[in-house]
Every structure is written in C-alpha cells, then in structure tokens.
Amino acid sequence: MQPAALPTILVVDDDASNLASLVKIFERLSLRVLPATSGRQALELLRGTPVEVVLTDLMMPEMSGVDLLKNVKTLTPDAEVILMTAYGTIERAVEAMREGAYDFVTKPFRRAQIERVVTRVLEKQALLAENRQLRAQLADARGSRPAGGIVGNAPALRRVLEVARQAAPSSATVLLMGESGTGKEMFARVIHDLSPRAGGPFVAVNCGALPESIIEAELFGAEKGAYTGATATREGRFERAHKGTLFLDEVGELSPRVQVKLLRALQSGELERVGGTHTVRVDCRVIAATNQDLKQMVRDGDFREDLFYRLNVIPITLPPLRARREDVPLLADHFLRHYAEKNGKRIEGFSERALARMVDYSWPGNVRELENTIERAVVLTQGTLLDEIDLPESLVAEARDAQEITIALGTPLEEIERRVIRETLRLTHGDKRRAAQLLGIATRTIYRKVGAAPDSE
C-alpha cells in the first residue's frame, strides 16, 4: 500500500526571515512546505503542485495577498487561503474573507497560534475528504446513484447512520421518525441498499397522499370486479416489493381497517387482495416512516398498539437540520453543484455572508427547504457567486435577528459586556480568538469577562 501523501502548504512572504521561520514551523508539523517570496512565484508553484493550504502575507509588492487569493480560488478552488496581516490592515483582511479567505492571523503571531489555524484548516479538509469518500462508498452500493442523497458529517447524523448500517443486514422492521424534510425516504433507501435485498425492488408509497377509498387496493391489490373500474386483477405494492423493501411513508395516516390488514401482513407474510378469497404470500421487508407521535396516537386510540409495536422493532429518529448546522455548508454545496449543472450555470460557490446566514437560519422545513432554497437561488442569480441577496428575505431576516441582541436601558455595563461576548462566541462557534478580533479586544479579556481560564499554550 502506498503511504499517504503529506498535506502541502504554500507559504508566501516577501520577508525572507519570516518565510524561513514559517517553513521550520510547518516542517515540524510534518507538512510538505512550498516557500515563495512573491505572489507571482506562488502562482507558478501552484500550477505545478496541488496544495491544501495557502498562507500568504497580505501586503506584498506587485501582487497583494487579496489578488493572490482571487487567483488561488480560480486555479484550485478547494485550497484554503489564510492571510497574515498587521493590526493596521485587519479591516482589509476581513474584506478578504468575503472573497473566500478561510481566516487571517495578525502579526506578530505566536507559533501556537499559527499552528492552531493551519491544523483547523487541515482537519476541516480531512472531514470533507472523508465525507466525499463516504458518499462514494454509498454510491457504489447503489450503482451510479448516491446513497439516497445523504450528505453530512455532524455527530447527530453519524449516530443515526450507524444505527441504519447495523439494522440493514437484518429483516427487522424499521420505524423512521422525524420532522418533514429530514430525509426519511433517503434513509429507507440506504437501509435497502446496504441489505441482502439490495438486488430486489424498493417500492415506496405515501400513505397520506392516497385517498382512503383506494389505499387498501393500492397496498394489497384487487381482484377483477372488486370495485367499479377494476377490469383486471391488479397486484398491490406488497406484491411488487416481493424479495425487496416496501417503504410506507406517513404510516400514521392509515385508517383502522387498513391497519388491521397491515398487521396481518407483517405477522404472517400473507395478504388478501380486495375482493379476493385466497391468500397471497409475500416476502418483503417493511420500513415505515412518520412525522407524527405514534405513541400519543396509540394513547388517543387513533393507532393500533399491536401494530405500533410490530413496526417499532428498530426505531430511528432523524435529527432536524437545526441540530446539525455544521452540515449546512456541505449540503448547500452539494445542492449548488447539482442545480448549477442542471440549469447550465457556472456558479463558483457562496459568499461568506450567504453561508453565515444559512448556518444561522433555523430551517423549519429541514433539508428539503434548504434544497428548494438553493435551487431557487441558482435559477434566479445573475452572478457567479451566490450572495445574501440571492437568499429569501425571510431567511436573511431571521438569521440577521440571530446576530442581534436587545438590551434594556439601565442594564449595568458589566452585564452588557458579558452578554455581547457570549453572543459573539456563539456566532464564532466558541472560537475565542475570532470573537476577540470581531470585538476589537484582547483574547484574555474574553476569558476574564466570561470567567473561563485560558488554554495553556
């Protein structure tokens, strides 16, 4: 087996002594380092060697760090750019982040500080690579299709994916629960694809979308003449799913009569078509899904208790998107690529502002709402970078509200400071150094004001 290639960092600084110091720092981190003394030299190296990270000085002759950033994003969009800047040019560095920079560090910086920033970038890229690998593995299980379109690395998602993976080889009935738009059918397809029944059919039926008058015939089939218009014997979804998987979405919408027939089919593997007198044996695995509280429906007498326990052999509750916000950028990028290709548009990505708004939004419609939002933005945008203006006004307004706080008159200044620091830390996901830069204060001030002890260097 070939050893894994070392991550490569391109370091650009016109100060030779500073450049030499940085090269030593990163070589100690077991990184492959490409040094460059100008933006032009950096681009020459970039054209010949793929890199994961570019660390560049902001103020350089001929080509500034911002100009280099734009060129890097054109040549190697996946590379992350970190800017080095003096305190007097922090504003320009913040502007550069809107152009796609990952972060910036202020000079003079400590070794531990620069190591932390670069390590964080590499960890992020390792997660993205792992996500791509997972999607590729699941795609192999389904041929040319991705595994139900499931994208993400959040711990909440990983936990339910692991349960689904463990449940897949069995024939046990699975009950998928969660809000609308969380991807219940996608999970059902993953379970099917990873099961021994993957070569058989996957048959889905939305129990809530079919009128009560036809749902029974739709599920169990009907004999010729069973009802007006039944001119021939017709097999139902259970029979079509023979040797495969039957996915019953919105199972809580089934009438009491159909619940009885479903219970029998699950218990015995036998059913009777509507208007029929003989039994038909079927062999299919059932995965049910609901966004309702079936336990409460049982207590209210709206759902059979014995059917509930028959369905609830392996319960899996899918997390809402607000519980896995770290996956929003990955999902947004996934949908952006899909709809840009579908609509024949060349769109490079999202602005920092747009991504921040999407991460802060609560997504009541979950992944489905995010997908629809990105499709709308792709269709309507006139630029090559999706920005805040391309997002729905309601989304932007809610996300902006999440970045504002209301303080009553008369609140002591000390309490105001603490609240502003805590809210800024929430927005920076606990990154105290970034919060300090946004607030224009020293990092130690944050530790002092919120009562936390600084990390040891």
Given a cut of 70, whether residue 135 has pLDDT beyond it is: no
3-state secondary structure of 53: strand
Q: Residue range 104-116: average pLDDT?
A: 85
Question: pLDDT at residue 137 above 60?
Answer: no
- Summarize the chain as % helix, strand, coil (round to 5): 50, 15, 35
92 vs 290, more confident: 290
On the question of a common fold for 8-127 and 322-401, the answer reads no
- Tell me how many degrees the CA angle 9-337-403 measures, rounded to the nearest 5: 75
Q: Which two tokens stand for residue 37?
A: 């003394």
CA distance 60 to 422: 36
C-alpha distances in Å from residue 416, one per residue of 56, 420, 427, 449, 453: 37, 6, 17, 11, 20
Report which of 318, 322, 403 is spatially closest to residue 362, judged by C-alpha positions. Answer: 322
The answer to whether the predicted template modeling score (pTM) of the entire model surpasses 0.75 is no
DSSP structural state of residue 433: H
Q: What is the pLDDT of residues 47-103, one digit of tens each?
A: 888 899 999 998 898 888 888 988 888 778 778 899 888 766 667 767 777 778 888
- CA distances to 85, 154, 363, 366 from 320, rounded to whole Å, are 39, 11, 8, 6
Place of tokens 């490079």: 348
For residue 143, what pLDDT is reported?
39
Mean pLDDT of 262-269: 92
Q: What's the mean pLDDT when you consider all of the chain?
A: 84
The pLDDT of residue 5 is above 90: no
Highest CATH level, class, for 8-127 = alpha beta
- What pLDDT is stored for residue 424 in this prediction? 77
Residue 99 · residue 66 · CB < 8 Å? yes
DSSP 59: S
- Domain made up of 322-401: CATH architecture: Orthogonal Bundle (1.10)
Answer yes or no: is pLDDT of 300 > 70.
Answer: yes
Question: Looking at the domain that runs over 413-450, which CATH code has it been given?
Answer: 1.10.10
pLDDT at 225: 61
Say if residues 309 and 173 touch (Cβ distance below 8 Å).
no
Mean local confidence (pLDDT), 395-420: 71
Of the candidate CATH numbers 3.30.160.250, 3.40.50.1820, 3.40.50.300, 3.10.20.30, the domain formed by 155-317 belongs to: 3.40.50.300
pLDDT band at 307 (very low <50, low <70, confident <90, very high): very high
Q: In the numeric block, which tokens belong to residue 341?
A: 């290709």
Mind listing the pLDDT tens digit for each residue in 330-370?
899 999 999 999 999 999 888 878 888 888 888 999 999 99
Instruction: Specify the pLDDT at position 378.
Output: 95
Conformational region of residue 344, where left means phi above 0, alpha means psi within -120 to 50, and beta covers everything else: left
230 with 236: CB under 8 angstroms?
no
> What is the percent of the chain with per-residue pLDDT over 90, rounded to a whole number?
40
Bridge partners of 316, per DSSP, are: 176
What average pLDDT score do residues 287-305 get? Answer: 95
First to last CA, the chain: 37
Write down the pLDDT at residue 404.
Answer: 56
Average pLDDT over residues 209-218: 84
250-264, 294-308, 429-443: the lowest-pLDDT one: 429-443
pLDDT of residue 243: 93
Residue 164 has pLDDT above 70, yes or no: yes
Residues 6+ apart with CB under 8 A from 448: none
Task: Decide: 85 and 93 in contact? Cβ < 8 Å.
Answer: yes
Please spell the DSSP secondary structure of 94-139, one letter per residue.
HHHHHTT--EEEEES--HHHHHHHHHHHHHHHHHHHHHHHHHHHHH
For residue 453, what is the DSSP state?
Answer: P
pLDDT tens, position by position, 26-60: 998 889 999 999 999 999 998 888 899 999 998 89
Between CA 76 and CA 58 the distance in angstroms is 19
**Which residue did the predictor score with more confidence, 273 or 229?**
273
Q: What is the pLDDT of residues 380-404, one digit of tens each?
A: 998 888 988 899 888 887 765 555 5
CA distance 431 to 433: 6
What one-character-per-residue DSSP string does 263-330 give? HHHHHHSEEE-BT--SEEE---EEEEEESS-HHHHHHTTSS-HHHHHHHTTEEEEPPPGGGGGGGHHH
Query: Quick check: 141 and 147 in contact, CB under 8 A?
Result: yes
Whether the predicted pLDDT of 455 surpasses 50: no
List the structure tokens of 91: 């504003």
Cα separation, 334 vs 414, in Å, equals: 44
CA distances from 263 to 221, 240, 243, 252, 368 (A): 16, 18, 19, 13, 31
pLDDT for position 3: 46
What is residue 133's predicted lDDT score, i.e. its pLDDT? 59
Is pLDDT of 217 > 60?
yes
Instruction: Domain ranges for the chain, please list them.
Output: 8-127, 155-317, 322-401, 413-450
